[in-house]
Every structure is written in structure tokens, then in C-alpha cells.
Amino acid sequence: MHKDIRAVLGEQVRGPLAREYCGGGDLGACRDTLVSTLKEAAGKTAAQVYPGDDVCSAGDQWCADSINHRTLGGIKHGKISWQNRPTYQQVVEFTSHR
């Protein structure tokens, strides 16, 4: 069984973990870091989180998170909602029927 899983299950783990975790592996330190960074983030205004640019006004989350198409020739598209897509996409074209 992988030693990281053993640690989660509360079993004895020999040696250090393979990678460093939040709080250096200390649950209390990790919890403190998480709480403090969440409080810091919650204290930000929408305009600080979503600063304006030439497309979106400051604080406009929907606009900042949207996909904005650039006009190409005479074709223009409006913004669309952000979509979670894979980093790598592959297109396969069959030139004839199998």
C-alpha cells in the first residue's frame, strides 16, 4: 500500500512522505494556513479580484471568467461562459468510410 494512503488511514509510516504537504505535513499548521488565506481572500473586493481591462469592467466576474472571441473579418461572436476543457485536445479525421 502507498505510504501516503497509509498516513491518511492513520497507520505508521516509516520515513518522510514523498512530497511536502500544506503546513509541512502538520495538520494544525495546514488548517491555520487554510483559514488565514480564506479570510484574506474573503476580505478582497470584487474589483480587486476581477480588475477591469479593455473588455470587462472591474468587478464583473461573469465577464472576467468568460471566453471572449476576437472578431475575425466580418464574423463576430459574443462572450460565452467559461468552460472546463482539457489541456490537450485531439482531432481525428477519417477521410473515408471504414
Domain layout of the chain by residue ranges: 1-68
DSSP letter assigned to residue 5: H
pLDDT of 5 above 70: no
pLDDT value of position 1? 47
pLDDT value of position 31? 92
Q: Each residue of 52-83: pLDDT tens digit? A: 999 899 999 999 988 888 788 888 888 888 77
Q: Which residue has the cell 500544506?
A: 22
Q: Each residue of 15-38: pLDDT tens digit? A: 666 777 788 778 899 999 999 999
Residue 17, SS3 per DSSP: coil
